[in-house]
Amino acid sequence: DIQMTQSPASLSASLGETVTIECRASEDIYNGLAWYQQKPGKSPQLLIYNANSLHTGVPSRFSGSGSGTQYSLKINSLQSEDVASYFCQQYYDYPYTFGAGTKLELK
Amino acid sequence: EVQLVESGGGLVQPGRSMKLSCAASGFTFNNYDMAWVCQAPKKGLEWVATISYDGSSTYYRDSVKGRFTISRDNAKSTLYLQMDSLRSEDTATYYCARLTSYVMDAWGQGASVTVSS
């Protein structure tokens, strides 16, 4: 199985700051990577797919980058509504696997 | 508007069975592969199973192979997850998700399953 190592596990940032979340795959996943946002008590929502493509309706302050085994999610100009947990997920191969998540809080 | 609505969760004893349903609307159900994903309390997400648009192919995580069965009724636009021989470690919220080019681009609100005596 492909292991997804996500960091940091938690993150505290101020409004307007830029934050970056990293995800490392145990093998090359050829950009088969998605990022999801999950707010407390809600279901996950797709943010980014194919490592760097913004899903419809997602604010442009979210961006994804990376290749091979290393990927990242960047949130520019942090807003209060961005407080959530974020998960990376590889869909290059079965079983699909997720990172353990990053809990983003406001400082 | 794409909608996925899960039902059928609840409390079940270890070793017993439960069947989840996911009613889809707002899109052409039989054009899409579908998946189930679970999330144990205060834990991360785990992919459970995937079924192809026509039901001809299914994929499962190892821990549920032989116990869970994913299926679909395209005439009813409904996805199912039959869960047999349930264990305490199956306790989780189960989400159905639509797959677009392998990506989970729409999710239901989740159905809570608690396996306990």
- A:B CB pairs within 8 Å: 52
Q: Which residues of chain A have pLDDT under 50?
A: none
Which residue type does A64 have?
G
In angstroms, the CA A38 to CA A79 distance is: 15
Which residues from A are below 8 Å from B106, CB to CB?
A: 46
What pLDDT is stored for residue B27 in this prediction?
98
Q: What is the pLDDT of residues A39-69, one digit of tens each?
A: 999 999 999 999 999 999 999 999 999 999 9
What pLDDT is stored for residue B102 in this prediction?
95
How many CA within 13 A on the CB side of residue A1? 15
The beta-carbon neighbor of B45 closest among A42, A87, A95 is: A87
Q: Do B103 and A49 touch (CB under 8 A)?
A: yes
| Mean pLDDT (chain A, rounded) | 98
Cα–Cα distance list, B106 to B3, B36, B110 (Å):
8, 12, 12
Q: What is the pLDDT of residues B51-81, one digit of tens each?
A: 999 999 999 999 999 999 999 999 999 999 9
Q: What is the pLDDT of residues B86-113, one digit of tens each?
A: 999 999 999 999 999 999 999 999 999 9
Q: Per the structure block, which two tokens stand in for A23?
A: 């995800």
Q: Do A46 and B109 touch (CB under 8 A)?
A: no
Cα–Cα distance list, B54 to A30, B74, B103 (Å):
27, 8, 17
What pLDDT is stored for residue A2 in this prediction?
98
Which residues from A are below 8 Å from B35, CB to CB?
A: 96
Distance from CA of B55 to the nearest CA of A (A): 17
In angstroms, the CA B21 to CA B84 distance is: 15
The answer to whether the CB of B72 falls within 8 A of the CB of B78 is yes
Q: Do B102 and A97 touch (CB under 8 A)?
A: no
**CA nearest neighbour of B96 among B37, B32, B40:** B37
Distance from CA of B1 to the nearest CA of A (A): 13
